[in-house]
Structures are given as C-alpha cells and as structure tokens.
C-alpha cells in the first residue's frame, strides 16, 4: 500500500500481526500502524479482547499461547502468506511464545527481539535483576528466597516496607490478581511467602523505593536489527492504580537526562535489540533513581509516544522490512495519556485524602491527548472494553460505594506528601 511521506512514496506491503490485543499495549500498536496505512492483523486468544474490534485491524483468534503454544504456532504459520509479514508481541505471554518458537516463526515472519538468553532473562524478574546487578544498574536492596529458611534470613536484613514481586507476572496475576504484596515487617513477609510457595510460584522481595507516583519514569527505546538505537521516548506517571503499586493511569511525556542515561546504559550493556522500556523511580530519601524493571516489549502507553512524535511500531516495522528508519527523532514534552476508568479509581484515593476535588479530575481529563481505549476515529475497542457503558456505570457505583462514609482527618491530609503530589 503506497503512502506519501515527505515527497517519497513508501510502499508498505507486509502485514503487521499484533500479538495480544486485550490491553492498551496491543491496541496502541494497532492504531499507530493502521493510521499509517499498514495492514494490521489483531491476534488474541480471548474472543472479547478490545483490540479485535478496532477498525484498523482484521481480527484473528488463536489458541492460548501459554496453555496451547503448539496450536497457537500452527495457527500463525497457516495464516501467513509467506511474504515476510511482521510480528509485534505486546504481552509477556506472547514474548515468551515468540522466543520459544523464533526459528519456526522466522521462516515466515520478520521481527526484532533480543537473543533468547536475554529475552527469557528479562521476562524472569530474578534473572533480570541478577543481570542488572552484573552490569551495575542502581537497584534497591533485593533478595531471592527459594524456601522459608531463606525468607527468614532475608527478613533480618530487609529494610521495610518491602514489596514481594513475582518472577513471572503472567503466571502470578491469575492466582493473586495483583502485581505483588507490600509487607511492613518480618512476620508479614513470612506469611505472604507461605502463600506464594503454596501456590508453586517464585518471587523476589525488594525494599520499597520511597516517593510519590510522579517520581516514577519510563525510558523507552528501540534498538534495530543492526544494533543502532532508532527511537527514544520518556514518560512519567502523574497517577497510577492501585496508587501504591500499580499501572500508570495518567502519564505525561518528559525529558530527563539523568534517567535517560541510566536506562540506555542498562539496555546497551546487555546488548538489547527491539522495543523495551526501563522503569525507574527516584527515591526521595536519596534523590537518586533506582531501577524497577525492564519490560522487553511495547509498554501500555505506547500510543502516547506516537502522539508525541515517535511512532515505535512504525519505526520497527520499517526497520525489519528494509525501509529507512529515522534516527534521533525527538518528542514533545507534556503529551498526556490516560486510562479514564483506572484514573477515576486513583482519583478517589486522592480525594479521600483531600488532595483532589472533582474539578481537578475534570481538568485532568480535559488535558488528555490520547487514551487507553477511547479514540474518536476508532470507538469499537472502547465499546468492547466498557460493555457499551456497563463498565462505566459499575466504576461509578464502585466509587460511590467505596467513598461513602470515609473520612480522613485534615492532619492526615496535610501530612501526606504523596497525596499532595497528585495535584494536576
């Protein structure tokens, strides 16, 4: 399909298969590619995935890549035309799937991902942190207990509060339904680990990096097939849900040279390839950034980078299909991304502490440049995500029910620095 770009007709004939479209990760890729005229196939094992309803993609359902990986592989191989279409994994499950079957898929598809050693290590949080320690990335105190004896030993040296984080997030969430457990002391640490081991899961524990949501930034980059960096973008959290340990619900694009150097130094030290985002948080006790994790795939807010001027999916597409990928593209600061429903839940937490009012939320929503699901030119995913408005009503009822009768004393409001930081 010919596109007119800067006076040059660019023909992008290869299809783009976006693997995993139940979350904003995949939906952002669909829109970033589809709006540029790329033919997109939205792939998921969940038939109600919002991305399957996008006007910019043809839907395709496949077997679960975790429970039936060989069947998912066969579905993808039989769908391909043998013309070098492009794969974009957007979830941990599909990243592991692509890494496992990279040789078979490389016969039919094109993609840019790290080596199997690096990629498998990045999905496994323990291996990721051990690699970060090897290359000297700044980390909070971190322990990897494998049994209760090692838990008791870690409990003596750990600084509290601490956070128990799974090795494999895609295996953890179906069991516990969260990103991990905050623990405030040795006994709570032991109690939580008993449940973790009973579930047959592995997890590390780290000292919590102290500071508000706004101290949390992402350094996002794309390293091409030749090892050169073709794309860079940075964003910071304004709010997240859950407020203490959650996913960004409002994000704003920024430049920060200190955080950028830490993130890029880590990616280059491990010889990274493909799209990845390094999460950092500044500890207000020391004023220094510490690394939280690397996500070796498109992140949830990737459409924000496109709106700010750096279209990551298109840059990767052009790189792997032999088109000239731009180098050194800069981005605009102040571009905001929002997940309205998750942000409403976050807002209620701040409202209970006197840090936000309804007008603050409305002003914040008005400032959003792009959204997790909502787009005026592509309403299908939003309707699918909200159940034609049913989910929106449920969120409103949930907020009103949770907020009723809850009072926070003014002293607590004044003394809560994280709440104060939420003002928009």
**Residue 163's CATH number:** 3.30.1490.20
Does residue 131 lie in a domain region?
no
pTM over 0.95: no
Q: Determine the pLDDT at residue 45.
A: 97
217 and 328 both lie in a single domain: yes
* Domain membership flag for residue 123: no
Three-class SS of residue 27? helix
Which residues partner with 44 through β-bridges? Answer: 61
Average of per-residue pLDDT across 6-18: 71
In a domain, 42, yes or no: yes
Of residues 405 and 340, which shows the higher confidence score?
340
28 and 86 share a domain?
Answer: yes
Residue 369 sits in the same domain as residue 415: yes
Q: Is the residue at 197 inside a domain?
A: yes
**What's the average model confidence in pLDDT over 56-60?**
98
- How would residue 328 be classed by pLDDT, with cut points 50, 70 and 90? low
Residues 305, 229: one domain? yes
Tokens of 227: 């090892």
Q: Three-class SS of residue 309?
A: coil
416 has pLDDT over 80? no
Predicted pLDDT at 399? 54
* Mean of per-residue pLDDT scores for the chain: 87
- Are 297 and 324 part of one and the same domain? yes
Final residue in a domain of this structure, among 338, 359, 394: 338
Q: Are residues 318 and 378 in the same domain?
A: no
Q: Are residues 150 and 243 in the same domain?
A: no
Structure tokens at 144: 């990897």
List CB contacts of 64: < 8 A, sequence separation 6 or more. 45, 72
**What is the pLDDT, as a whole number, of residue 360?**
84
**pLDDT digit string (tens) for 159-172?**
999 999 999 888 89
Rounded to whole angstroms, the Cα distance separating 331 from 223 reads 17
312 within 8 A of 305, measured Cβ to Cβ: yes
Let me know if residue 119 belongs to a domain. Answer: no
**Count of domains forming the chain:** 4
Give pLDDT, residue 244.
72
* End position of a domain, from candidates 270, 304, 338: 338
What pLDDT band is residue 4 in, cutting at 50, 70 and 90? very low
| Residue 288 and residue 243 in one domain | yes
Asked if residue 129 belongs to a domain, the reply is no
What 135-140 contacts at long range (C-beta under 8 Å, 24+ apart), as own/partner pairs, is: 135/265, 135/266, 135/269, 135/270, 136/269, 137/262, 137/265, 137/266, 137/269, 137/291, 138/262, 138/288, 138/289, 138/290, 138/291, 139/206, 139/290, 139/291, 140/206, 140/207, 140/208, 140/209, 140/283, 140/290
Which of residues 242 and 343 earns the better pLDDT score?
Answer: 343
pLDDT computed for residue 178 by the predictor: 85
Query: Could you tell me if 217 and 327 lie in one domain?
Result: yes
Does some domain include residue 124? Answer: no
Q: What percent of the chain has pLDDT over 70?
A: 88
Q: Range of 384's domain?
A: 345-420
């Amino acid at each position: 399909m010919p596109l007119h770009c800067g006076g040059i007709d660019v023909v992008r004939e290869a299809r783009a298969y976006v693997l995993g479209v139940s979350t904003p990760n995949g939906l952002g890729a669909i829109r970033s590619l589809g709006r540029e005229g790329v033919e997109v196939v939205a792939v998921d094992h969940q038939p109600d995935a919002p991305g399957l309803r996008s006007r910019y993609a043809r839907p395709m359902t496949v077997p679960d890549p975790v429970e039936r990986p060989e069947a998912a592989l066969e579905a993808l191989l039989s769908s391909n035309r043998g013309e070098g279409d492009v794969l974009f994994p957007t979830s941990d499950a599909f990243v592991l799937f692509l890494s496992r079957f990279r040789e078979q898929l490389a016969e039919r598809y094109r993609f840019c991902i790290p080596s199997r050693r690096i990629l498998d290590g990045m999905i496994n949080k323990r291996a990721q942190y051990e690699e970060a320690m090897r290359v000297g990335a700044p980390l909070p105190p971190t322990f990897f207990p494998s049994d209760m004896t090692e838990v008791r030993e870690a409990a003596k040296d750990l600084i509290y509060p601490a956070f128990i984080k799974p090795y494999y997030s895609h295996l953890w969430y179906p069991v516990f339904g969260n990103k991990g457990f905050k623990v405030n002391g040795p006994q709570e640490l032991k109690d939580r680990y008993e449940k973790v081991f009973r579930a047959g899961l592995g997890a590390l524990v780290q000292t919590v990096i102290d500071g508000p949501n706004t101290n949390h930034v992402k350094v996002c980059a794309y390293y091409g097939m030749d090892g050169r960096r073709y794309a860079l973008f940075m964003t910071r959290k304004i709010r997240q849900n859950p407020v203490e340990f959650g996913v960004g619900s409002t994000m704003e694009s920024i430049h920060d040279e200190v955080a950028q150097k830490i993130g890029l130094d880590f990616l280059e030290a491990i010889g990274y390839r493909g799209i990845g985002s390094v999460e950092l948080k500044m500890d207000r006790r020391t004023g220094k950034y510490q690394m939280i994790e690397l996500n070796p795939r498109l992140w949830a807010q990737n459409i924000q980078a496109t709106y700010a001027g750096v279209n990551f999916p298109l840059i990767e597409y052009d790189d792997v299909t032999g088109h000239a990928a731009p180098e050194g593209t800069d981005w605009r600061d102040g571009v905001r991304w929002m997940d309205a429903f998750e942000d409403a839940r976050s807002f209620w937490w701040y409202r209970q502490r006197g840090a936000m009012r309804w007008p603050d939320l409305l002003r914040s929503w008005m400032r959003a440049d792009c959204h997790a699901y909502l787009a005026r030119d592509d309403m299908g995913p939003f309707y699918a995500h909200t159940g034609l408005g049913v989910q929106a009503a449920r969120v409103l009822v949930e907020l009103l029910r949770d907020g009723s009768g809850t009072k926070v004393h003014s002293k607590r409001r004044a003394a809560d620095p994280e709440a104060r930081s939420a003002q928009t």
